[in-house]
Amino acid sequence: MAEAQALRKAVECGVPDNDKYMHPTLLKNRGNWKYHDRPRPGVLHHVAHSGDQVWSVRAGTQRQMDTYTIRKLCDIAEQFAEGHVRFTIRSNIEYIVADQSKVDPLIAKLEGEGFPVGGTGNSVTMVAHTQGWLHCDIPGTDASGVVKSMMDQLYDEFKTEQMPNRVHLSTSCCEINCGGQADLAVIVQHTKPPKINHDLVANVCERPAVVARCPVAAIRPALVNGKPSLEVDEKKCICCGACYPPCPPMQINDPEHSKLAIWVGGKNSNARGKPTFMKLVASGLPNNAPRWPEVNEVVGRILRTYKADARPWERMADWIDRIGWPRFFEKTGLPFTKYLIDDWRGSRANLNASNHVRF
Partner 1 sequence: MAKPMHPTPNLDQLETGPWPSFVTGLKRLAKDKDYMVDVLGHLEHSYQTRKGYWKGGTVGVRGYGGGVIPRFTEIKDENGQAVFKDAAEFHTLRIMPPPGMHYDTATLRQLCDIWDKYGSGLIALHGQSGDIMMQGCTTENVQKAWDEINQMGFDLGGAGPAVRTSMSCVGAARCEQSCYDEAKAHKAVINSFLDDIHRPALPYKFKFKFSGCGNDCMNAIQRSDMAVIGTWRDNIRTDDELGQKWFAKHGMNELINDVVSRCPTKALQIKDAGSVRGVATGDDHISAVALDGKQCLEIDNKDCVRCMHCINVMTGALAPGKDKGASILVGGKSHLKIGGLMGTLVVPFMKLDTEEDREKLVEMAQSIIDFFAENALEHERTGEMIERIGLVNFLEGIGLDVDPHMINTPRTNPYVRMDGWDDEVAKIEAKKQAAA
* Residues numbered 186-205 forming contacts with partner 1, rule: CB under 8 A: none
User: Shortest CA distance to 128 belongs to which of 93, 90, 158?
Assistant: 90
For partner 1, the closer of residues 72 and 331 by Cβ is: 72
135 vs 333, which CB is nearer to partner 1?
135
User: Whole-number minimum distance, CB 333 to partner 1, in Å?
Assistant: 26
Contact 200, 193 (CB under 8 A): no
CA distance 67 to 70: 5
Residue 242 beta carbon to partner 1: minimum distance, rounded to whole angstroms: 6
Q: Counting contacts by CB under 8 A, is residue 229 touching partner 1? A: no
Site for partner 1 in 296-355 (CB under 8 A): 311-313, 344-346
Footprint (CB under 8 A) of partner 1, residues 130-189? 130-142, 144-145, 148-149, 151-152, 155, 173, 175-181
Residue 106 CA to residue 96 CA, distance in Å, equals 10
Check binding of 359 to partner 1 (CB under 8 A): no
How would you label 270-298 residue by residue, b for 16+ Cβ within 10 Å and e otherwise?
A: eeeeeebebbebbbebebeeeebebbbeb
Minimum gap (Å) between residue 134 Cβ and partner 1: 6
Q: Which of residues 2-21 bind partner 1 (CB under 8 A)?
A: 5-6, 8-18, 20-21
Residues 254-273 that bind partner 1 (CB under 8 A): 255, 258, 266, 268-273
Closer residue to partner 1 in complex, CB, 220/326: 220
Measured from the CB atom, the residue of 176 and 202 that comes closer to partner 1 is 176
List beta partners, residue 342.
Answer: none
In the window 50-89, what residues touch partner 1 (CB under 8 A)? Answer: 54, 56, 60-71, 73-74, 77-78, 83-89
277, 284, 330, 341: which one contacts partner 1 (CB under 8 A)? 277
Q: Collapse the DSSP code of 33 into the 3-class scheme (helix H, G, I; strand E, B; otherwise coil) and give the result.
A: strand
Q: For residue 146, which of 248, 69, 261 has the smallest C-alpha distance?
A: 261
Q: How far apart are CA 98 and CA 52, in angstroms?
A: 8
Amino acid at 70: I
H or E, element range at 68: helix 67-80
